[in-house]
Structure 1
Amino acid sequence: MKEEHIKQLITANPFHGTACLDPRCKGILLILIGFSSYFSGGEAVSFALMLISAIFISFGNGMGWAAKMLTAYVITAYLNALLRYISIPVFSVIMSVFGVTLLKLIPIAMMGCWVLKTTYMDDLMVSFQRIHLPQSVTIPLIVMFRFIPTLRIEYGMIRDTMKIRGICDTLREKITHPLSTVEYILIPLLMRCLKVTDELAASGTTRGLELEEKRYALNPVSFSPLEWIVTISWAFFLSALLLLGQTTLGNIILWRV
């Protein structure tokens, strides 16, 4: 009975809905959304892409993250709309380009972080092996997927250390005291990055990342008909958005101040 309970704890999957999709399906969707985000035209079309993407990840352990990114998108869009009423040479152009680029990146960042949070490394390794990716591509991708969450943990530990020492770590302090930000945050973070890379390399060697034998995962990894339906549906939807962006819908001004 105890062994069965341990087995259930090991094989229990905390993810549900769209988070349970095959890692290959998530990767394809990330590429499609990134391509569509950069080449979509018009405010209405771009917002439709952002909204549908947020709804999609909300059904897969990403409701809170989707709400945050959707709010950030709307705020950025309104701030970018304010630039229409500001005519400062050079500055207005630079900020306008920066705002548009940020609006293009938000859907990609939202989807990418969701994929990182809802994908197990073992499942990702198995899925890469099944599409016959070479080791020279698989290993850097796996290390990158593990490096980003680890870096976030390290940043949290640095912030905790700053609180213990009574050092304020607010956005205002970071802006008004840039040298202190470099001293207390960036330099320790860079030092930790060097150690983390060595630790991840040692961990990868221990786990046998360089071995070419067939790999297995606790969770079933297969590109089922559901993944095909989701991928094809997204491909048709994004193609329709790109086509609509070339029509009069692409000229609709959605954000007015």
Structure 2
Amino acid sequence: MTTSPVAASRERTVTAARSRPALRLDPRTKAVLVLATSLVVMAPEGVSFIPAALVLGVLLAFNEGAWVRALALPVAAAGIGTIAYLLPMYVPHPVVGVVATMAAYLVRLVAIGGVALHLMSTTSPMELTAALRAARVPRAITVSAAVMLRFLPTIIAEARAVYDAMRLRGIGGWGGMLRHPVLSIERFTVPLIASSLRVAEDLSASALLRGLGSASRPTAMRPPRLGAADGAAVLVAAGLAVVTVLW
């Protein structure tokens, strides 16, 4: 059973409203933290900033009450980092080198993902749109960010629905993937692409009805406000960066 885009976006909004962190950050602060973390970690010398980004992601997860994420971030980063930096030292093989190179980029994405997941799980599309408009962000970026925040959870739900349907028909699972990899990929991607096109059309119509592409500036029911929590978050992030540089 697939989830409609309207129901998925409504569930997304309710979930974001129920997740009340101890210190509520302004969506602009969350977006700045994600952007700064991405720029620093993905820089040529960004490996040294990975621990600071992980600490920031864990602190945000604790603030949100996402205990599983707070534990999974360092564990995943440690495992992937072992493959990326320690395994080539003990197993000098070309294949291991390729795997280590991929793992080196993946551990950076894990560090960035910890901060990005906090933004996605605690911010509704309406809050993000209002915050970006208050920051005078161009309309093209505002609309794209709002649509992406609504589109990704819906596509994940559609992918799970397709996978469950394949399992019910006995054509899913790792066994079927190993026996018929090309056929399994085809059976999964074709329904998902068709569903994605339908979801994209529905979300586009919903965006037009909500006035995302209008020339006039809509009024937010809850205007974003910067507070002491935002200043504390920026100071913590700056302190982690300074400690990394001095270390």
Q: How does the TM-score come out when normalised to structure 1?
A: 0.79
CA distance in 2 between counterparts of 1:222 and 1:61 reads 22
**How do 1:85-234 and structure 2 match up within 5 A?**
85-88=90-93, 90-170=94-174, 173-174=176-177, 177-211=180-214, 212-217=216-221, 219=222, 221-234=224-237
User: Match of 2:75?
Assistant: 71
Q: Which has the higher contact order (CA 8 A, sep 6+)?
A: 1
**How do 1:46-57 and structure 2 match up within 5 A?**
46-57=50-61
1:31 aligns with 2:35: yes
Change (3 A) 1:36 1:134: closer
Change (3 A) 1:205 1:49: closer
User: Match of 1:251?
Assistant: none
- The CA RMSD measured in Å over matched residues stands at 2.4
2:173 aligned counterpart, secondary structure: coil
Encode CA deviations 1:137-158: one digit per residue, 9 max, x unaligned. 2111111111111110111111
8 Å contact from structure 1 (residues 83, 92) kept in 2: yes
User: Structure 1 residue 108: deviation in Å?
Assistant: 0.9
Return 120-129 or 94-103, whichever deviates more: 94-103
Aligned pairs, how many? 229
1:122 aligned counterpart, secondary structure: helix
CA distance in 2 between counterparts of 1:68 and 1:176 reads 32
Q: How does the TM-score come out when normalised to structure 2?
A: 0.82
Change (3 A) 1:134 1:32: closer
Identity between Structure 1 and Structure 2 (%): 21
Change (3 A) 1:19 1:120: farther
CA distance in 1 between counterparts of 2:240 and 2:104 reads 22
User: Structure 1 residue 196: deviation in Å?
Assistant: 1.4
8 Å contact from structure 2 (residues 158, 192) kept in 1: yes
Encode CA deviations 1:59-87: one digit per residue, 9 max, x unaligned. 21322223223322122122332222122
In structure 1, the gaps of 5 or more residues are 1-9, 245-257
Q: Which has the larger radius of gyration?
A: 1
Q: What amino acid is aligned across from residue 225 of structure 2 in structure 1?
A: S
CA distance in 2 between counterparts of 1:67 and 1:138 reads 32
1:240 aligned counterpart, secondary structure: helix
User: Structure 1 residue 202: deviation in Å?
Assistant: 0.6
Q: What amino acid is aligned across from residue 200 of structure 1 in structure 2?
A: L
Change (3 A) 1:135 1:49: closer
Q: What amino acid is aligned across from residue 237 of structure 2 in structure 1?
A: W
1:82 aligns with 2:87: yes
Encode CA deviations 1:149-177: one digit per residue, 9 max, x unaligned. 1110111111221122123323x643554
Alignment partner for residue 40 of structure 1, among 46, 49, 52?
Answer: 46
